[in-house]
Chain A
Amino acid sequence: GNSVTQMEGPVTLSEEAFLTINCTYTATGYPSLFWYVQYPGEGLQLLLKATKADDKGSNKGFEATYRKETTSFHLEKGSVQVSDSAVYFCALTPYGGATNKLIFGTGTLLAVQP
């Protein structure tokens, strides 16, 4: 079946450090891939997405590349800020899905210290 595996947290970094949060998936065909972010006390919001192999999604300095060969969609940012502290969820929508159901990973808590 379809599933998403992401690295466990918490991830604790100092401000301006480089961030990588790993995400791999299992799915048939070509799913769409997403990163959602949840700031404290809020719902989830879309951070970036990619819909086909080799696509790169980017937003707010974050990037992730859809790697079909390694079934991965790792999230990266070159220099994190305290305001990036949040829970990050990797997710997919199955290929050909008629209802846009999202399948989520378990989330990774990022804590950025000044």
Chain B
Amino acid sequence: DVKVTQSSRYLVKRTGEKVFLECVQDMDHENMFWYRQDPGLGLRLIYFSYDVKMKEKGDIPEGYSVSREKKERFSLILESASTNQTSMYLCASSFSYLRGAGANVLTFGAGSRLTVL
């Protein structure tokens, strides 16, 4: 069964701490994404990557950075966590659009719920 695995389901951090959220996929997908999910706001794209070492900002990149050193792994980094970053974070992956029909389906991980105190 194909999977997107997020390393932590629940994290509690303090304001100012550096936070790493890890995501690994085993489907040989080119694209990887980090979304943030908040009640009433749906899912908002933070960053995405379409290849190793490549990244592009999504709609709400402020306060976040990402790293993609290997194809299967995409990390989200909060350099200095703040209370307004308390949220559910969802990682997803997909094939490149170059693979044609069916490539635009995203597979999601189970989510990481981060609380910043």
Contact = CB atoms under 8 A, between A and B. Distances in A.
Nearest to A4: B42
A73 interface: no
Interface stretch (A60-68, A77-85, A98-106): A98-106
A41 B92 CA distance: 16
Contacts of B109: 43
B94 interface: yes
A51 interface: yes
A43 B90 contact: yes
Interface in A21-47: 32, 34, 36, 41-46
A93 B95 CA distance: 14
Contacts of A97: 97, 104
Contacts of A36: 108
A106 B41 contact: yes
Given A44-B90, A46-B106, A51-B101, A99 B31 contact: yes
Contact of A93 (B4, B44, B90, B104): B104
B42 A107 contact: yes
Which of B4, B33, B42 counts the most chain A CB atoms within 10 A? B42
A50 to B, nearest CB: 12
Nearest to A103: B45
21 contacts: A32-B104, A43-B109, A44-B106, A44-B108, A45-B107, A46-B105, A49-B105, A89-B42, A93-B104, A98-B50, A99-B48, A99-B56, A99-B97, A100-B94, A100-B103, A100-B104, A102-B43, A104-B35, A104-B44, A106-B42, A107-B43
